């Protein structure tokens, strides 16, 4: 029990072996740059099929913040902002990337990372009811994440409702799927890729946290939604020279439905960890999540001991005596390390 168990995030390891193998195999092939290669073509085709959306525009980028900033900037006009839960990644943890391209993040209340349709509707109604609303930033699109930053899931019904409200105000609905594989792998999830393509206007399928070295795949069901996306990508520093690296990775992730399977162990392991915490006397859950992130309330006096054994993420202060930590599993988490983690948690 003197080795460190790594649970601080879901981006601690490299990539799924299929990806590594293909990167090795194709390493010295010559292909055109900037995504004009056959691997990218193939990956985009597989993604269109998986979404049952043969006309969709699919774009590959390197990382999440980059993808969010680029998609949002591609959609909004200068006078518009993006509506987000106040806990949304774009609102809090992207170092002002959205504002840096000139757009305000319009924050609304959230519960466990989720906004709800009635809250969104009320926000929009209030905006338009204000006689001076033209002096305010116009809401131009809606941002949600699935799963959320809090590990929670929107149900299909909830996304339908958000979609209805957003569309009734002509606002595109955008879904940040940085951890989408862990939503798709959850038994509690009823939202498929096909649903996302039907109900939303733009979403991205996370690679970085879901089996790839890096990479996020943007899906735009109506390919007329944005224009000159390549120029916007380049302007945001997000046009990868060796674009095939993205193509190869998503091609592998969407072969044989790998992406739909890759999060399953992580979600199961997170369940075991949460079961263990719930049966613990000293620890408790902030709340139970259906995906790969566990939020555990730890007495401050146990923190130092825990840190000797486990690499975890600080989440927030709970009260003067307790701290919330985040433990994340991933596609690369091993059963053995989970058992060891549970043992540590039980013995602490």
Residue 65 CB, shortest distance to a copy of itself, in Å, is 5
Contacts with a copy of itself by CB under 8 A: the residue count is 82
Which one among 6, 167, 258, 260 touches a copy of itself, defined by CB under 8 A?
6
42 contributes a contact to a copy of itself by CB under 8 A:
no
- 323-342 residues near a copy of itself, rule: CB under 8 A: 332
235 binds a copy of itself (CB under 8 A): yes
Q: According to CB under 8 A, which residues from 142 to 181 bind a copy of itself?
A: none
Among 58, 213, 267, 277, binds a copy of itself (CB under 8 A): 213
Q: Does residue 209 belong to the site contacting a copy of itself (CB under 8 A)? A: yes
Q: Tokens 């840096």 appear where?
A: 100
Q: Shortest approach of a copy of itself to residue 310 CB, angstroms?
A: 12
Residue window 241-260: x/- pattern of binding to a copy of itself, with contact defined by CB under 8 A: xx--x---------------
**In this chain, which of 2, 129, 319, 320 binds a copy of itself, going by CB under 8 A?**
129
Cα 340 → chain centroid? 27
When binding is defined by CB under 8 A, the residue of 18, 57, 65, 87 that contacts a copy of itself is 65
Which of 30, 170, 224, 304 binds a copy of itself (CB under 8 A)? It is: 30
Q: Please report whether residue 231 would count as binding a copy of itself according to CB under 8 A.
A: yes
The binder of a copy of itself chosen from 20, 260, 303, 344 (CB under 8 A): 20
Q: Is 107 in the site for a copy of itself (CB under 8 A)?
A: yes
Cβ at position 319, least distance to a copy of itself in Å: 14
């Amino acid at each position: 029990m003197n080795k460190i168990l790594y649970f601080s995030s879901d981006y601690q390891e490299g990539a799924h072996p299929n990806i590594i193998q293909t990167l090795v195999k194709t390493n010295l092939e010559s292909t055109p740059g900037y995504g004009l290669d056959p691997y990218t073509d193939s990956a985009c085709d597989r993604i269109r099929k998986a979404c049952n959306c043969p006309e969709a525009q699919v774009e590959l980028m390197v990382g999440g913040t980059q993808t969010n900033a680029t998609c949002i900037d591609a959609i909004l006009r200068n006078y518009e902002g993006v509506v987000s839960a106040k806990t949304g990644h774009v609102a809090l943890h992207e170092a002002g990337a959205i504002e840096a391209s000139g757009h305000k993040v319009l924050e609304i209340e959230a519960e466990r990372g989720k906004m709800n349709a009635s809250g969104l509707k009320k926000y929009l109604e209030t905006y338009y009811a204000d006689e001076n609303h033209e002096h305010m930033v116009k809401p131009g699109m809606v941002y949600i994440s699935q799963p959320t930053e809090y590990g929670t899931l929107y149900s299909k019904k909830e996304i339908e409702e958000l979609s209805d409200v957003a569309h009734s105000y002509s606002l595109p609905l955008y879904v940040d799927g940085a951890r989408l594989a862990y939503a798709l792998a959850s038994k509690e999830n009823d939202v498929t890729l096909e649903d996302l393509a039907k109900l939303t206007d733009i979403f991205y399928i996370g690679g970085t946290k879901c089996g790839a070295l890096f990479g996020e795949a943007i899906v735009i069901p109506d390919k007329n939604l944005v224009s000159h996306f390549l120029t916007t990508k380049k302007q945001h520093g997000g046009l990868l020279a060796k674009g095939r690296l993205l193509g190869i990775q998503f091609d592998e992730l969407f072969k044989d439905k790998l992406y739909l399977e890759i999060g399953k162990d992580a979600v199961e392991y997170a369940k075991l960890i949460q079961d263990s915490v719930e049966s613990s006397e000293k620890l408790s859950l902030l709340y139970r999540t259906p995906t790969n992130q566990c939020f555990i309330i730890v007495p401050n006096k146990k923190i130092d001991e825990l840190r000797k054994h486990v690499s975890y993420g600080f989440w927030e202060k709970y009260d003067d005596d307790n701290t919330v930590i985040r433990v994340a599993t991933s596609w690369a988490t091993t059963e053995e390390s989970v058992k060891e983690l549970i043992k540590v948690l039980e013995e602490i």
